[in-house]
Structure formats: C-alpha cells, structure tokens
C-alpha cells in the first residue's frame, strides 16, 4: 500500500502490559483515529493483535528481554503512513480518497552491504488502482463496489534501492548473522508479481521479514463497514453480499504505531533522523 503521522503513545500501565505480552485488549490502547467501536451505522475499526511479541527462539538479552544481534547486522523497517482516519465511515472514505497511498519497506544491513527492499504495485496499468476501481463501482451502482478491494493486481514488482517515499518513521532492530541470512533468502526467493489489499502488500512483506528476525509486529486492521454510506450528499450501496462486510488488511498506519511503541519501550530504536541524514 502506498505524511507525518502523529505519535499515538498511550501512557497507561495497561498498555505497558499489552506491549510486553503482545496481547490485544480491545480499543483502549489505540488512538481514536485508528480504532473505532461498533457504531450505529455498522462501522467499526480494530487493529488485530498478536499472541506473543517474540518467537520462541528469538535472540534476546536474558536480563531485559530485548533483541540482541551480531555486530554490524541490523533490520530496519520504514513506514510512510497514509494517516487514514478510521474513526467513522465518512472520515475513512474522505481520507482514503484524498490519500490513497502509504508504504512500508525495509533495509537489511550487514558489515558487507546494505540492501533497501520493498514490494510495490497497484500502478493502474492493467486494472484501475484500488481507490479508482472502488469509486468507479460506486458511481456505476454496483451492488458490491467494495468488492474491488478483494481483487488481486498482477502488476506487483520488487523495488531494490532507495524509494521516492520519505519515511515518517524508521525503526532499527539488531539481528544476528543467522537471522540476516534467513531474511535475505526470503527476499530473494519470494514472488513479487502479485499485489493485493488483503494480502501480498508492502506491509505484509516487512511483517514477514520481522517474523524471520524473531519479532511479531502488529500490522493488520479489521474494518467492518455498513451496507450503505453517505458520499457527497448521496446514499450509496457499499455491499449487498455480507461476505464483503468485513475487510482485514495490513497497513503502514497500524505498523507505524506499533514500531513507535516498541522504540519507546526500548525494543529496537528510532533511526528516523539517521536514515534521513543519509538520504539527504
């Protein structure tokens, strides 16, 4: 998926517990723009939690349970958040229409080299881009216009080297040489010709790389949409078939909130300034 995002840092002891255990507990720790309880029209938004923060074999400091690695080896995860407003139906549709982009990518670093890597797609060459296709189906009176977000684009491709995006946040995690090799092999062998909203998007790739580094990241959101919405003064049908009522997908918005929280509590670090200094 393709901006500064405001920091969404909860100060409660409850969030500290959730962060360290990796267990979600409703909407309490999330900012209102990212999480909305079920509303009268049927809209709701809920980031999807994780069972545990670290893999059983994660490389952790035994004293403080934070990631450690070998000298010179690091995984960087970068986000350019779309900063969509998930608070209600109208706010989400408006922000999605104005900023139908966002991106997540990674840098894999070793003493010998530094690889910047991402999955891109949704170029609109073979099929209309997601926001264009959905809005066109709305205008055409399709009974399930949101179904366009279930389409898979055949124009995915990998991008190696610096992107044209400027990250709103960069998170660095030390990794071992073994983890570096696992992530590198994954990046080289993965297919990139498919691109989708629900899977196979840029945020999915970096979350998979994070899992290979031994850490599970919160990066997906569950949206429940009403069957009809008001758009530009008109009531428009969003879905008729209830299988399109719930949409789950990975997004830089959710991922960035999680990465900022991790850095705040000493799990990895904020490397935004150093990355931007090198980019400039």
pLDDT tens, 142-181? 999 999 999 999 988 888 988 889 999 999 999 999 999 9
pLDDT-derived band at 275, boundaries 50, 70, 90: very high
Lowest-pLDDT choice from 18-27, 60-69, 84-93, 144-153: 18-27
Residue 131 included in any domain: yes
User: Which residue pairs from 151-154 have beta carbons closer than 8 angstroms and sit at least 24 positions apart in sequence?
Assistant: 151/127, 151/196, 152/194, 152/195, 152/196, 152/200, 153/121, 153/122, 153/123, 153/126, 153/127, 153/194, 153/195, 153/196, 154/126, 154/127, 154/193, 154/194, 154/195
The verdict on pTM exceeding 0.85 is: yes
Per-residue model confidence (pLDDT) at position 157:
87
Instruction: Check: CB of residue 46 under 8 Å from CB of residue 251.
Output: no
Residue 76 included in any domain: yes
Residue 5 included in any domain: no
d(CA 195, CA 38): 30
d(CA 248, CA 44): 12
Interval 87-133: pLDDT, tens? 998 888 888 878 878 999 999 999 999 999 999 888 888 899 988 89
**Which residues, in sequence order, are CB contacts of 180 under 8 Å at separation 6+?**
73, 75, 108, 110
Region 1-23: mean pLDDT is: 33
Region 185-210: mean pLDDT is: 94
Instruction: Check: CB of residue 241 under 8 Å from CB of residue 144.
Output: yes
Residue 2 included in any domain: no
pLDDT-derived band at 81, boundaries 50, 70, 90: very high
Helix (H, G, I), strand (E, B) or coil at 94: helix
d(CA 185, CA 118): 14
The tally of domains found in the chain comes to: 1
What's the token pair of residue 162? Answer: 């610096």
How much of the chain exceeds pLDDT 70, in percent?
Answer: 88
Burial of 172 (0-12, 13-18, 19+ CB in 10 A): buried
Residue 159 included in any domain: yes
Per-residue model confidence (pLDDT) at position 233:
80
Interval 120-149: pLDDT, tens? 888 888 899 988 898 899 888 899 999 999
Give the residue with greater pLDDT, 32 vs 187.
187
Per-residue model confidence (pLDDT) at position 248:
97
Q: Which residues of 14-47 are buried (b: 16+ CB within 10 A; e: fewer)?
A: ebeebbeebebeebebbbebbbbeeeeeebbbbb
Residue 202 included in any domain: yes
Helix (H, G, I), strand (E, B) or coil at 163: coil
For residue 219, the enclosing domain spans 24-243+250-279
d(CA 57, CA 182): 14
pLDDT-derived band at 5, boundaries 50, 70, 90: very low
Residue 116 included in any domain: yes
Residue 11 included in any domain: no
Average of per-residue pLDDT values in the chain: 86
pLDDT-derived band at 27, boundaries 50, 70, 90: low
Burial of 215 (0-12, 13-18, 19+ CB in 10 A): buried
Per-residue model confidence (pLDDT) at position 12:
28
């Amino acid at each position: 998926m393709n901006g500064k995002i405001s920091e969404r840092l909860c100060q409660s002891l409850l969030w500290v517990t959730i962060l360290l255990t990796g267990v979600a507990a409703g909407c309490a720790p999330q900012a209102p723009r990212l999480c909305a309880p079920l509303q009268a029209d049927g809209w709701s938004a809920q980031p999807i939690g994780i069972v545990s923060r670290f893999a059983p074999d994660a490389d952790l400091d035994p004293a403080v349970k934070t990631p450690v690695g070998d000298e010179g080896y690091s995984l960087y995860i970068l986000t350019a958040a779309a900063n969509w407003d998930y608070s209600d139906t109208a706010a989400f549709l408006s922000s999605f229409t104005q900023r139908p982009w966002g991106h997540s990518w990674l840098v894999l670093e070793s003493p010998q080299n530094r690889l910047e890597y991402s999955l891109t797609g949704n170029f609109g060459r073979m099929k209309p881009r997601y926001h264009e296709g959905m809005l066109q189906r709305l205008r055409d009176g399709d009974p399930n216009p949101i179904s366009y977000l279930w389409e898979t684009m055949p124009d995915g491709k990998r991008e190696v080297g610096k992107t044209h995006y400027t990250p709103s946040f960069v998170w660095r995690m030390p990794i071992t040489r073994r983890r570096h090799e696992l992530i590198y092999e994954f990046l080289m062998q993965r297919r990139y010709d498919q691109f989708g909203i629900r899977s196979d998007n840029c945020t999915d790739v970096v979350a998979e790389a994070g899992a290979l580094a031994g850490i599970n990241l919160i990066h997906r959101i569950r949206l429940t949409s009403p069957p009809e919405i008001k758009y530009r003064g008109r009531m428009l049908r969003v879905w008729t078939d209830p299988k399109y009522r719930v949409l789950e997908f990975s997004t830089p918005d959710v991922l960035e909130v999680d990465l900022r929280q991790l850095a705040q509590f000493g799990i990895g670090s904020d490397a935004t300034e150093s990355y931007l200094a090198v980019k400039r």
